[in-house]
Chain A
């Protein structure tokens, strides 16, 4: 079959159901070796510290106003009522709504010259989370699916890509794009586990072990006589399912200290961010934490006070914890939305969608600490330095994770596809 980078040979042949099913060699191997057995927490935590890169991707669905967060412009035409406050980094000021985060600024790199394109919600979510590769007629994976594919699952048997979100959960195969469903996400609706997570009370742990041991023997005998792929897939999904069951404490909020709950905040975003940290600690490769409702077309300043206040509290607690636990060295933290918000304040005291000039924050693995890169104009309406589209950010993040977009490419059933926009490159100023 001839190759052409612009179109896809048979996208349908990637079944999107196969969440974690088709068993990339590494996943199967990790599961088959069972290296970490039941001792997930301590063994994995140590191992992760040494070598495993992880990501927590905080997605504020809609747009967070850059003027009320990372790029304040007090006392200017569009500046709004809030003050700019100093941070733990001399020369960097942020909006006073980020008062907790300001104390963690020495961990953070903020890029104030994001200039993306789509200003509609329907396009924004996918465009940003896919890194807006050139349109090749295929659905690119979301960032989590890409990382799950490129780095595989961490040891310990948990799925590589988990998504903590308000509302319903399930297996979100779409996030895998053309890579297929196994690179989709396991979504925990309101932090709750997938259906049928827990062993029913009628079955004791001993009984469960005995019945599964018998199943495994039977499977091994079948596998020895047949083509490998199906048997491996079947064993792998059972291993992941049982590991999730074993780690059901992750979904038990009573296991969390009151102090942590207060630090992160008892609101949805706080609870979900805290679960995000615990998932990272348990060895999930990529965690997406989702917050909805960032769309202050009206009453922007009260809305921002509430929304950004929650983000600030939980984000600062997360950075503090990751830093304290030595996890920032191998964990890439990203906080972003679909776009920024218009500098011009509309007649409803709101700010509308503004992809032209906004800010994206990141921290941790491979990222410089305590810097602000790029700048917007005095009024904050345009980027005054080199503008960076989302493709530049994807290049940057891949590099921070040790993945070279110049060398790595996807193989879409024979069709080579770049992992990041091939007309763009990394933002070198933020790379450590």
Chain B
């Protein structure tokens, strides 16, 4: 076996997996804290990718720099979506099912808006550093994926610290562990859910831009992204931020290695076969479900 190829594909897998993890943590939080399986999560990430692409084409703004206004913008959009669409649905008896149907509808609408605005052609983000590489020994690294990786680590780290260190983050965890008691001690559930949803969608924007640094994308791409989201969240434990990150890297490694050493048509069957094996042995995922 070729060691250089092995290490190179391992690194590629870790980079890919960490970006999926960044896209996945918010999905995991909305699922864990709010019991909402947010099907349009990846679609919001994709919007961010398109907007970043547009900003780059038109004004030459770097995609990562564009997150400075994109994340707050997505946060606000998400608060509106939460207030007027998700909140009424959370009063239903079967929140998980009704929220899935609702957000599936949102995903379709968002996808078609993207089709209308940007058309069906695949886009590729090309910055000044896209074709640049730096070489360490026998390995070469492309700037863009490394930038995506750094962003993913920073993003997941920020969300983790938010949940562990800030009062609002602790309230998010408290609301998920024991919602009645959280309310009795002054937590406004609607407000906390809105913040959770806003942060989740905001981080989806960062994850979407991260994926756009790695791959080309078109308005349907979020469907494939979504499948990977389910994968990382189920393996990582619903609501578990660091578990999601670890699962993302793990799945990235599996995909990266199988891409390098197996025929392409075997990659997804292998990945999802492993998912089924994981679920059969550990029905709650590899890591504990917790916030």
A and B, one complex?
Answer: no
